Structure 1
């Protein structure tokens, strides 16, 4: 067996890195967001090398949950929770987004800890990519921190787009596997469900929850208590969902960012 060339090794690493990342909140007021999510989720916050406009959220056990940034006004982007997927060569990733009819709204920008870009897929769902030496956090169904789900127009077309951009489903060692499970495309990194992609969103819908978008889910031990705390701190309940594995509540924070809380009920 011959060894990979440096270029091949880098491409393999980039595809594998598409299996990890972090969730980021783009907002206007960092203090307001800290007060809200601290009350609802019990998170604490610390600064980091990204600067005064950013902070890292940690859970009660000290695990990194998310990065919060008061940059919605600076970069003229919507207030939102956005998944960022780690890559090894961000310029190549951004080029692939454009080649496959996606758009790049911001970047790549250089920040103290690396380089980042904000992009949208062909149907307008916004996501980020990040290149550095250690993106904080982890996303995935087995994580106690957060997992992500894409509601889009056509799950198969979306899976092809993200597969070509991030290497999901590539036939190389370490690449996340793509499967069709329970009427959705599921991306797995080993036994971790990295992302779920389901069809049915409507691009022109007036309701943002119906349009294509990435949804960020946070697990909670007591859903009713968390929802009550959210509404007490100027958040609002958008909808409730009960399933065989989870009870869920879709919420909007005081600045307008949509997120989901999920309480495990079985499985």
Structure 2
């Protein structure tokens, strides 16, 4: 059964990789056909910059920026080493790849704990709440991303789908971490409940299968997030990653170098 599941997992994994490759192409074509590409990157007109009234360092606080930096490098190591461990494409690299994978795992999980701590020790958790106001906006957001609407109502820092995707990611990270740790310490983490699954080795096989599939899901989500961040909030990207702010006349008291903010991280 596990062998059959692995075969289907590889098939599903290929499908997810194809979808992942299509995502940035779709957003490029959609932005090109709707004129958003010209408006934003040639004319450099970003509507959200006109509506925000908080400085860059409040919209994108340093703890969240650091968390993203750690995740970026950790995920690069994750994806490369993870694919190698699953499909070794050169000889004599397995031990090194496993070591790098473990280092990235500790860094990412530590950063995740830090992110949750920050969320609940500040008012950041408020940005993830849903209300009945989100329901009519959901259709607007869907229509916007398929090119049928030119805008949607901004009622919170993250729109309704964005919030949901973040919540899903935060839920999947502990699962991915546990399945990874279970492969490092199978007896300690799986031994006491492995009986119904045919023993520790068999249950570890299922953990590896789940871990592999989630790796592809995370890759798809990361590519989607990155594509949307570029096409929907490039000025925010400039500040978020490189500390380069775009000036905003609607933010007062902080100077042009600290004004603005988007809703894309």
Normalised to the residue count of structure 2, the TM-score between the two structures is 0.21
The structure with the larger Rg is 2
Higher relative contact order (CA 8 A, sep 6+): 2
TM-score (norm 1): 0.21
More helix by share: 2
